[in-house]
Amino acid sequence: MTVPRKSDLFQDDLYPDTPGPEPALEADEWLSGKDAEPILISLRDGYVPVKNRELKVVKKNILDNKPPPGPRRSHSTCEPDRPALEEVLEEIRALKETVQAQEKRISDLENKLCQFTNGTD
């Protein structure tokens, strides 16, 4: 059983060093494959925020590494797969016919329902 401590003194075992706000690596270093342990800070004096540090941004021109463009094909030279296109169009026609047949059937059933309900009012 652990008894709570009544001392107001800082106790290292209760508050071990903890990762601080300062990064161990810059983004470029991490992206290049480096790895590092976090920079630990002591909480003995409480948390003391660090001054804002200057953010270093290095913009590289990504277009410098872009491969040269290959020959472009226009839409007119690109022939669609005719059998697949015909198959899709046929399926669309069949679906339209099915929808029309079902609409007619629903309309007929609604009319029959109206006839039955009008006769019993």
3-state secondary structure of 32: coil
What average pLDDT is seen over the chain?
80
pLDDT at 26: 87
Please state the φ and ψ torsions of residue 41, each to the nearest 5 degrees.
-125, 155
pTM of the model: 0.35
* Higher-scoring residue by pLDDT: 109, 13: 109
Confidence grade of residue 67 (pLDDT, cut at 50, 70, 90): confident
The Cα 94–Cα 3 span in angstroms is 80
- Residue among 46, 59, 55 nearest 23 (CA): 55
H/E segment holding residue 27: helix 27-31
The Cα 54–Cα 52 span in angstroms is 7
pLDDT at 3: 58
Confidence grade of residue 64 (pLDDT, cut at 50, 70, 90): confident
Token pair 């039955």 is at which residue? 116
